[in-house]
A = this chain, B = another copy of it.
Amino acid sequence: MFAQRAPEAVTPEDVAAAAGVSRPLVYRYFPGGKQQLYEAAVRSSADQLERCFTEPQEGPPTERLRRVLGRYLAFVDEHAAGFSALLRGGGVCETSRTTAIVDEVRRAAAEQILLHLGAERPGPRLRMLVRTWIAAVESASLTWLDEEKLPDAGELRDWLVDHLVVLLVTTAARDGETAAAAAALAAQEARDGPLATLARRLAPLVESAASG
């Protein structure tokens, strides 16, 4: 219920009715009422999202990222109203506890990316790259929900993959650590995979810009 409506629009009575139990029973398990129900829902969603982020370190890295983002966008799609309300903040149900859970999910996402990048102790540029891209993904997800889910989830997913790739490449041009991580990932890509496709699309643009 908290996935499909703003938290303000859910009452313990609604939860009781949906569960087919009495209102007192809901309050017996959730004596904090609506606020406690909401926090439990946020906790459960955070666990679900963190499971989405886990992906074996096998195969082309862009394919791993596509799978993670596919699961993540399916989650966003299914939890649209709750996802927007939680991330936009400012609602009466948001507390330091719900904010802390959101930050925990962001940290979990960053850890997974750094794991695949092989960067156990990332420097400031690589840390900034990862955090910035995660913020970009969040913002793009909110915009996507605002824009009636246009472009479609598959295109958005591939755009977000390309976004991380170009950000890695741009940062690699300035930072040795990022360059080494990007090179190690590129070596695991398929010849005709998303990296090669992106590179072929960019090649003429880069060439014309480089020659001025």
* A contact face: mostly helix, strand, loop, or mixed: helix
Docked pose: A95 CA to B124 CA in angstroms:
33
Q: Cβ of B212 and Cβ of A196 under 8 Å apart? A: yes
Interface string of A182-201 (1 = CB under 8 A from B): 10001001111001101111
Count the copies: 2
What number of A residues sit within 8 Å (CB to CB) of B?
A: 58
Which residues of chain B have C-beta atoms less than 8 A from A191's C-beta?
A: 212
Does A44 interact with chain B (Cβ within 8 Å)? no
Which chain A residues have a beta carbon within 8 Å of chain B's beta carbons? Answer: 89-90, 94-96, 99, 124-125, 127-128, 131-136, 138-140, 143-144, 147, 150-151, 155, 159, 162-163, 166-167, 169-174, 182, 186, 189-192, 195-196, 198-203, 205-212
